[in-house]
Amino acid sequence: MIKKNPPVQVAKPSLLIVDDYADNLFTLSRLLKVLDVDVYQAASGEAALSLALEHDFCVAILDVQMPGMNGYELAELLRGNESTSKLPIIFLSAMYSDEYHHRKGYDAGAVDFLSKPYIPEILISKVRVFISLYEQRLQLESWAHWLEFLVAERTDELSQSYDDTLTGWAKALELRERETAGHSQRVVKLTLRMAVEMGFQPEMLVHIHRGALLHDIGKMGISDSILLKPGTLTEGEWHEMRQHPIYAYELLRQIKFLEPALNIPYTHHEKWDGSGYPRGLKGEQIPLEARIFAMADVWDALTSKRPYRKAMARQAAIQHIREQSGTHFDPNLTERFIKLLEL
C-alpha cells in the first residue's frame, strides 16, 4: 500500500501591476493588498518584463499608454516568451477605452480590458478569479507530480487516479451549479460514442473523455450570485458567464496531462456560424471534438428535467437539433449524430 501523501503547495500568490504613474501604482497596490497577495510594481514595460521573467505571477495588470514599451507591446512579448506565455493579462486604460483598443488588447493576449476610472469591487472580483485559478493550478500540479511519481509501479492505477479526480471535480461542480444529476457522465458517454463513430484513435479518446468531463470547469471562477441566479441574467452578468471557457483555458492549459483535453472546455460554446463565444470561431475553426460535444451537451440539456422546466420530448429535441444544423451545429455531423441517437 502506498502511504506517501501528495505535497501541499504553500506558495503565496503574487501579481504584477504596471503603470508609469507612481500615484496609480500606489492606489492600485493599496487596493489589491486586501487580497493577501504579494504585489510587485513596475513603472515601465522593460522593468515589468524583467520581473515577469523572475517570478510566477498569477495575473498582470497593465496600463496601455507608457513611454518606451507600451502595454500592447509588453503583452505580446510576454505571450511570445515560453516562461510567461501563460500569464493572464488585464489591461487598465483611461485613454484607450473604445472597442478598437479593447480588441487590440485581446489580440495582444489580454483576458480582460477595464476602462479607467475602474470600479474597485469589479477589479478585485476579477483579480480574485485569477488568484483562485492560480491556486487551483498549483494544487493540480502538485497532484500531477505526485501521480507521475507513482507511474513506474502503478501505471493503470495512475490513469484511474487521474480520472477519479476529474470525476470528483465534475460531480462537485454539478452539486454547486445544482445541475441535473449525472449530466457530466451522460454527455461524456454520448460524446465518446460519436467520437468512436468519427474514427478517433484510442489515445485521443482519453483526452476527449477528460475534456467532456471537465467541460464546465471554468464555472469554478463564476460567482454564486450569477451561477445560481434564478432569474434572467443582466447583460453584465452574461458577459461574466461567457468568461467561463476562458477561465477553463487558463486553468487547464497549465496542467501538462490536461493540455490535450483543452478543446472541449475552451470551445464547446462556439457555433458553426461564428455567433458563439468566447472567440467567435466559425466552421472547421472549431475543433471536431468540440463540435461533437456541443450536440451531446444540448441534447442532454433538452431531454433532462430541470427545476424550471420539463424535459423536452425526444422527437421535439431531435427536431431542434436539425433546426440548428448549419447555425449552431456542424451540418456535416448533425444527421450522423441523430442516427446515433436512434441506435
pTM: 0.59
Question: Residue 36 is part of a domain; what is its CATH number?
Answer: 3.40.50.2300
Taking 50 as the threshold, does the pLDDT of residue 158 lie above it? no
Which of 90, 110, 134 lies at the terminal end of a domain, its last residue? 134
Question: Where does the chain show beta strands of DSSP type E?
Answer: 14-18, 38-42, 60-63, 89-93, 112-115
Q: Is residue 2 part of a domain?
A: no
Whole-number pLDDT of residue 265: 94
Whole-number pLDDT of residue 118: 87
- If asked whether residues 113 and 190 sit together in one domain, one would say no
Q: Is residue 142 part of a domain?
A: no
Question: Residue 155 is part of a domain; what is its CATH number?
Answer: 1.10.3210.10
- If asked whether residues 313 and 185 sit together in one domain, one would say yes
Total domain count, the chain: 2
- If asked whether residues 188 and 331 sit together in one domain, one would say yes
- If asked whether residues 309 and 275 sit together in one domain, one would say yes
Taking 90 as the threshold, does the pLDDT of residue 136 lie above it? no
Q: Is residue 20 part of a domain?
A: yes
Whole-number pLDDT of residue 2: 38
Cβ-based neighbours of 310, under 8 Å, separated by 6 or more: none
Q: Is residue 5 part of a domain?
A: no
Question: Alpha carbon of 244 to those of 88, 266, 317, 339: distances in Å?
Answer: 14, 8, 26, 31
Taking 70 as the threshold, does the pLDDT of residue 179 lie above it? no
Question: Alpha carbon of 56 to those of 50, 51, 71: distances in Å?
Answer: 12, 9, 19
Taking 50 as the threshold, does the pLDDT of residue 165 lie above it? yes
Long-range residue pairs from 149-156, CB within 8 A, at least 24 positions apart, any chain: 149/4, 150/2, 153/2, 154/2
Q: Is residue 141 part of a domain?
A: no
- If asked whether residues 129 and 236 sit together in one domain, one would say no
Average pLDDT, the chain: 85
Which of 85, 101, 134 lies at the terminal end of a domain, its last residue? 134
Nearest to 336 by CA among 200, 199, 191, 198: 198
Which of 80, 101, 134 lies at the terminal end of a domain, its last residue? 134
Cβ-based neighbours of 60, under 8 Å, separated by 6 or more: 15, 16, 17, 18, 48, 52, 78, 87, 88, 89, 90
For residue 335 the three cell numbers come to 444527421
For 271-326, what is each residue's pLDDT tens digit? 999 999 999 999 999 999 999 999 999 999 999 876 657 889 999 999 999 999 99
Whole-number pLDDT of residue 169: 60
Q: Is residue 35 part of a domain?
A: yes
Taking 50 as the threshold, does the pLDDT of residue 88 lie above it? yes
- If asked whether residues 18 and 165 sit together in one domain, one would say no
- If asked whether residues 44 and 108 sit together in one domain, one would say yes
Q: What is the mean pLDDT of residues 60-85?
A: 90
For 195-230, what is each residue's pLDDT tens digit? 999 999 988 998 999 899 889 888 888 888 888 787
Whole-number pLDDT of residue 6: 47
Full residue range of the structural domain in which residue 161 is found: 150-341
Range scoring the smallest mean pLDDT among 14-23, 28-37, 141-150, 154-163 = 154-163
Taking 60 as the threshold, does the pLDDT of residue 8 lie above it? no
